[in-house]
């Protein structure tokens, strides 16, 4: 008789859904672990946690976490989450989705959520391409990188996500790689306690797509790159925080922004109070 092994975090996972759909070497399992670790350690009531995602590999993550989860349409996780949060501010609404979902098709929504300082935590897992559809180029693909739709190399300038988010007034901005498991977990825990808009970028390998085209044939070689090139700099000049994989530029990680600004939910509560008091 083989003893059934129960993982200590099983209660926070939909273990009947495993094995998951992610490829060997993908960083998404690490992000899922960090999320689950964070909510298991925090004093936020478990039932208040809600996960929302759009479409893509990362967007499948909420489906494996044992919390209220919403897998919505491509790019639209943030406005959906906005509706949930405004109606029930007790909810801890976290959006976990990919770079393509949040910054290409959903780019308009994330900039406005940050501008409003909407009380959401957005975790963007950036693998520099569209993994689910076979590795096409997107707004985060570094200049010169090859993808299935940039066979001659990418000629477009890429987004620098922490720089964008900081410029829009987000309350909290951090970046880690899938190598920085503990830092990521602590970052999620911290961000969930912050009023307003929090943003965490997680750099992740995508071995069969971006990796294959760009000298990272397996997850390990890209993790090795993260190990050798990551530089912790909480006070970094974010305009310099672009990512390329040439090895000539450091991969800047850290907690870049943590500021106190009135959040949307706080301001709206005050607005409603005043309007209701009017005779």
Partner 1 sequence: MNKKLIKPGNYFMNGNFACAEGALVAGLNFYAGYPITPSSEIMERLSYRLPQVGGHFIEMEDEIASMAAIIGASNAGAKAMTATSGPGFSLMQENIGLAVITETPVVVVDEMRGGPSTGLPTRVGQGDIMQAMWGTHGDHEAIAYAPSSVQEMFDLTIKAFNTAERYRQPVIVLTDQVIGHMSERLVVRDLSDYEIVERELREYPDPIGKVHDFSRDFVPMVIAGKGFHYNIDSLTHDERGYPSNDPMVEEVMVKHLIEKIRKNEDKIVEYKEYFLDDAEIIIIAYGITARSSIQAVRELREKGIRVGLFRPITIWPIPKKRIMELSERVNAIYVPEINFGQYSHAIREFSKSPVYEIPFPPGKVPDPKRIVRMIEGGS
Q: Is 50 in the site for partner 1 (CB under 8 A)?
A: yes
Residue list 90-129, contact with partner 1 (CB under 8 A): 90-91, 108-109, 112
Q: Is residue 63 within the footprint of partner 1 (CB under 8 A)?
A: yes
Q: Which of 15, 40, 47, 224 binds partner 1 (CB under 8 A)?
A: 47
Strands 92-98 and 49-53: parallel
Q: Which stretch binds partner 1 (CB under 8 A): 82-90, 222-230, 237-245, 252-260?
A: 82-90
Range 43-49 contact pairs with CB under 8 angstroms and sequence separation of 24 or more: 44/92, 44/192, 48/90, 48/91, 48/92, 49/91, 49/92, 49/94
CB 101 to partner 1: min, Å: 12
- Residue 81 engages partner 1 in binding (rule: CB under 8 A): yes
Which residues, other chains included, contact 234 with Cβ-Cβ below 8 Å and sequence gap of 6+?
254, 255, 256
Cis amide bond preceding 85, omega within 30? no
Judged by DSSP in three states, 105 sits in: helix
Which residue in 162, 143, 147, 151 sits closest to 254, CA to CA?
162
Instruction: Say how far apart CA 84 and CA 240 lie, in whole Å.
Output: 35
Binding residue (CB under 8 A) for partner 1 from 1, 5, 6, 275: 275
Query: In terms of Cα–Cα distance, which of 20, 55, 54, 56 is closest to 36?
Result: 20
Stretch that binds partner 1, among 161-169, 177-185, 223-231, 269-277 (CB under 8 A): 269-277
- Is there binding between residue 67 and partner 1 (CB under 8 A)? yes
Stretch that binds partner 1, among 66-74, 143-151, 155-163, 186-194 (CB under 8 A): 66-74
Least Å from the CB of residue 133 to partner 1:
15
For partner 1, the binding residues (CB under 8 A) are 14, 17, 47-48, 50, 52, 55, 60, 62-63, 66-73, 75-76, 78-88, 90-91, 108-109, 112, 268, 271-272, 274-276, 278
């Amino acid at each position: 008789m083989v003893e059934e092994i129960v993982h200590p975090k099983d209660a926070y996972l939909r273990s009947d859904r495993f094995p998951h759909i992610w490829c060997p070497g993908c960083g998404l399992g690490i992000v899922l672990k960090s999320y689950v670790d964070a909510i298991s350690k925090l004093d936020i009531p478990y039932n208040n946690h809600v996960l929302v995602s759009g479409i893509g590999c990362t967007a499948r993550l909420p489906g494996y976490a044992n919390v209220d989860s919403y897998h919505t349409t491509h790019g639209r996780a943030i406005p959906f989450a906005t509706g949930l949060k405004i109606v029930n501010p007790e909810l801890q609404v976290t959006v976990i989705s990919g770079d393509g979902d949040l910054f290409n098709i959903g780019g308009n929504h994330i900039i406005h959520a940050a501008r409003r300082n909407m009380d959401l935590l957005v975790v963007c897992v950036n693998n520099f391409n569209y993994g689910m559809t076979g590795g096409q180029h997107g707004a985060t693909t570094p200049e010169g990188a090859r993808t299935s739709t940039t066979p001659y190399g990418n000629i477009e300038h890429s987004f620098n996500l922490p720089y964008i988010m900081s410029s829009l007034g987000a309350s909290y901005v951090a970046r880690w790689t899938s190598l920085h498991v503990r830092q990521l977990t602590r970052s999620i825990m911290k961000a969930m306690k912050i009023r307003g808009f929090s943003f965490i970028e997680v750099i992740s390998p995508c071995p069969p797509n971006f990796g294959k085209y760009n000298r990272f044939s397996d997850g390990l070689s890209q993790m090795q790159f993260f190990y050798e090139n990551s530089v912790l700099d909480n006070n970094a000049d974010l305009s310099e925080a672009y990512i390329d994989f040439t090895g000539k530029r450091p991969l800047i990680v850290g907690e870049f922004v943590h500021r106190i600004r009135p959040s949307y939910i706080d301001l709206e509560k005050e607005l409603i109070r005043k309007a209701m008091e009017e005779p």
